[in-house]
């Protein structure tokens, strides 16, 4: 599982055999949220969340939004496109 980023205890990863659309899995405190990176000009969006408090989810989305370009580059490096 390639780790793309680690900020404030949030571990942001992608999986080698993952599928489109481009997305990341954000892991913190036993919870996981899957966030679609979306195309340029479109904000990342939550696809699903498991065991993560709303406040932590919002922080995860903020981190992914602020680092979208790097995360999308990491996704493309692993999955092409």
Mean pLDDT of 14-28: 92
pLDDT band with cut points at 50, 70 and 90 for residue 79: confident
Give the pLDDT of residue 55: 96
All residues at 6 or more sequence positions from 41 whose CB lies less than 8 Å from its CB, including other chains: none
Q: What whole-number distance in Å separates Cα of residue 41 and Cα of residue 55? A: 25
pLDDT band with cut points at 50, 70 and 90 for residue 81: low
Give the pLDDT of residue 3: 74
Q: Do 6 and 12 touch, CB atoms closer than 8 A?
A: yes
Q: Do 5 and 67 touch, CB atoms closer than 8 A?
A: yes
Q: What whole-number distance in Å separates Cα of residue 10 and Cα of residue 63? A: 9
Q: Do 21 and 37 touch, CB atoms closer than 8 A?
A: yes
Flag whether pLDDT at 1 surpasses 70: no
Flag whether pLDDT at 76 surpasses 90: no
């Amino acid at each position: 599982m390639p780790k793309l980023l680690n900020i404030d205890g949030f571990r942001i990863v992608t999986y080698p055999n993952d599928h489109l659309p481009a997305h990341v899995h954000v892991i913190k405190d036993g919870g996981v949220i899957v966030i679609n990176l979306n195309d340029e000009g479109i904000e990342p969006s939550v696809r699903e969340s498991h065991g993560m408090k709303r406040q932590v989810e919002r922080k995860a989305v903020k981190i992914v939004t602020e680092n979208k370009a790097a995360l999308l580059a990491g996704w493309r490096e692993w999955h092409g496109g």
